[in-house]
Chain A
Amino acid sequence: MARLFPIRHVIGYIFSLILSVVGLGVVFWDLNPTAGLWILIVCALIQASLQLVLFMHIGETDNKKSLYFNIAYALFVGLVTIFGTLFTMLWGW
């Protein structure tokens, strides 16, 4: 029975909840913007790796090529969305 229990998923789920609460805390306790932003960025990175490792089983395939291709595409879109938004909306070029 112990082998059947999805321990990794449960750990991942609990961590996701904790990270969400931390994010909510940043807003709730009105942290100063710089500290708050850093906490959010760190949480976001942990959250992303939790999803990849615990839920999406990233280490479990032998096909490394498609894996890297996928991550590269995802990084491209993610970075373009974030920095593109900063570029168009905030940086005032």
Chain B
Amino acid sequence: MKWDEFFVTGEPMIYAAMVSIVVVSIAILIGLTYFKKWGYLWREWLTTVDHKRIGVMYILSALIMLFRGGVDALLMRTQLAAPEMKFLDAQHYNEIFTTHGVIMILFMAMPFVIGLMNVVVPLQIGARDVAFPRLNAVSFWMFFFGAMLFNISFVIGGSPDAGWTAYFPLASLEFSPTVGNNFYSLALQISGIGTLMTGVNFIVTILKMRAPGMKLMRMPMFTWSVLITNVIILFAFPVLTVALALMMFDRIFGSQFFTMANGGMDMLWANLFWVWGHPEVYIVILPAFGIFSDIISTFSKKNLYGYKSMVASMVVISLLSFIVWAHHFYTMGAGVMVNGFFSITTMAIAVPTGVKIFNWLFTLQKGKISFTTPMLYAMAFIPIFTIGGVTGVMLAMASADYQYHNTMFLVAHFHYVLIPGTVFGVLAGMYFWFPKIFGFRLNEKLGKTAFWLIVVGFNTAFLPLFFLGLSGMTRRMYTYSADTGFGPLNMVATIGAFILAIGFVVLCYNFYWSFRYSPRDENGDPWDARTLEWSTPSPVPVYNFAKVPNVKSMDALWEAKVNGVPLYEEGPYEPIHMPNNSGQPFILGLIMFFLGFFLVFSWFIPAIIAGIAVVVMLALRSFERDHGYHIPPEEIAATEQKLRGDSV
């Protein structure tokens, strides 16, 4: 292999990216050494098993990936701004829309959602950590190194270029001979296994670690949505794992599962991909539904309307999500029966979703509403998501879909679902729970400025795409002639994309401003909220709850505040059992990164060595004895004194 096959060459933008990667890496290394932060980084973050810190690292990674995916989006929009633009060539454009899709779904939406789960769920159910803290760290580092493996592809080896769906036969060795799609299969595999472990971890946490009295039907709605999400993860991700493994066998070991010869079946990839892919949509959107439910209830000063129907509709969505996948390829040529069946199931999903929309509206009705930043996102979500949902029902009609399929209409539809659903959801959740972790709120004025820029920018960017799609602009076309008449609306969309980007910059500036100037939170409950997590001091101490709370009703903290039902029993503190930190998850993730990297380039000897190292790490863990440590009552008393000012 020659050097110019190893590194991506010939693009000035890529050279600039390489230089900036090297400069930033050196700057980080020098910074860490100069400020003597290596030990701090290792002890407090890289080896941590604390669910709150792991959650923060997930969200930080997600924000960085949001930046990367966002830059991809801006490059695409710049290329499409006017007819016959020469900003990107066809190959580069293919690579960019592929990485944009993969990164936004798998390395931005997923970790953001999982990060919020990590931060919030143990606090909401009155637990001191997740059920398997060490496994949680393994999950994070598998995700992180999977994401890194995917991201280096654009400077080393070349990015995948067959779309985020990587349909065969295009993604096969025959039509995509570069290593790009090897990166796809291996990076997604590594982070997907991490996600699968998260699924197990959170199901066990929610089923087994709730505080006394916290019955299933007393759980906050976000915890409910997380439980159902993780059930979907547990059953959907194995399909992706198998499909990616078959893809890897096809591309690296010469098997014929998805080829067009020797009994292979190319459309089987699309089929398996969407058997996972459609539930995946609900994996990223159900937690957002949960976040909005908690936020709307908090800022309307009412309990959630239709709690039971909210839970039931999520269970129904989780089942329906597994029987709609073929609507992604109506145009494959299946018969009337197949398309008809999947049309009906797809439309059926609108029913439980509609139930949820009405429940939110009824929660707002006659509420004492305060328009904080998280609440604004929730308010914007309802109408915008409804547009996304209604266009979804349009796409669900198989015969009409022959017109919409693979046009900009589809692109507009799924952005109208995923951005208000997932992105607004996780941003709202971030603003909402930020004070819990850091002890101060993000600035409301900057938050609202960013909100308006994001909402206006989003609609300006994506509403025109509906009309472009209806007038025939297909998705993934890298340029168009002036005769098509696509120019003006594309220009509007591009302007919208840049407004959206300015919104993101304001959002990031808010972190800096608030970190320096925002007033520190005194009582741990800045929003006057309803659920258990707000009964802890902010920032939350490592053990979460000094005493295990006693839950007697739904919205336990609200009951405690309004009706004086005590949350904690009187009496001395008991010693708290906590897990020890460990460097093994980080090291295991690093080894997985190298295993994946060697397999991408089919360097089998180093890959086998890395594989053996993985087995050694697992064996080490099996024979390790680690019983954790205990925090003595005096230390708890001192910490609580410091955080709360007086004893509970």
A-side interface residues toward B, CB under 8 Å? 66, 73-74, 76-77, 80-81, 84-85, 87-89, 92-93
> Is A88 within 8 A of B338, CB to CB?
yes
Nearest residue in B to A81 (C-beta to C-beta)? B275
Nearest residue in A to B279 (C-beta to C-beta)? A77
User: Interface residue tally of chain B, by bracket?
Assistant: 20 to 34
Query: A92 CA to B231 CA in the complex, in Å?
Result: 32
* Least Cβ–Cβ distance between B197 and chain A, in angstroms: 15
B249-272 at interface with A (beta carbon < 8 Å): 265, 267-268, 271-272
> Is B267 within 8 A of A89, CB to CB?
yes
Contacts of B271 in A (CB 8 A): 85, 88-89
> Is A77 within 8 A of B322, CB to CB?
yes
Contacts of A77 in B (CB 8 A): 235-236, 322
Contacts of A87 in B (CB 8 A): 338, 341
Residue B390, interface by CB 8 Å: no
Main secondary structure of the interface of B (DSSP, over half): helix
Apart from A81-B322, A84-B323, A87-B341, what 14 extra A-B contacts exist at CB < 8 Å? A66-B207, A73-B231, A74-B235, A76-B319, A77-B322, A81-B239, A81-B275, A85-B268, A88-B271, A88-B342, A89-B267, A89-B271, A93-B335, A93-B338
Total CB contacts across the A-B interface at under 8 A: 39
> Is A92 within 8 A of B335, CB to CB?
yes
Nearest residue in A to B268 (C-beta to C-beta)? A89
Query: A66 CA to B341 CA in the complex, in Å?
Result: 31
Nearest residue in B to A63 (C-beta to C-beta)? B207
Residue B326, interface by CB 8 Å: yes
Contacts of B335 in A (CB 8 A): 92-93
Contacts of B337 in A (CB 8 A): 93
B326-358 at interface with A (beta carbon < 8 Å): 326, 334-338, 341-342
* Least Cβ–Cβ distance between A81 and chain B, in angstroms: 5
Contact of A80 among B207, B265, B323 (CB under 8 A): B323
Query: A77 CA to B337 CA in the complex, in Å?
Result: 21
Contacts of A74 in B (CB 8 A): 235
> Is A85 within 8 A of B338, CB to CB?
no
Contacts of B236 in A (CB 8 A): 77
* Least Cβ–Cβ distance between A73 and chain B, in angstroms: 7
* Least Cβ–Cβ distance between A78 and chain B, in angstroms: 8
* Least Cβ–Cβ distance between A36 and chain B, in angstroms: 12
19 A–B pairs (Cβ distance < 8 Å), ordered by A: A73-B231, A76-B319, A77-B236, A80-B323, A81-B275, A84-B275, A84-B325, A84-B326, A85-B268, A87-B338, A87-B341, A88-B271, A88-B326, A88-B334, A89-B265, A92-B335, A93-B335, A93-B337, A93-B338
> Is B334 within 8 A of A93, CB to CB?
yes
Query: A6 CA to B235 CA in the complex, in Å?
Result: 28
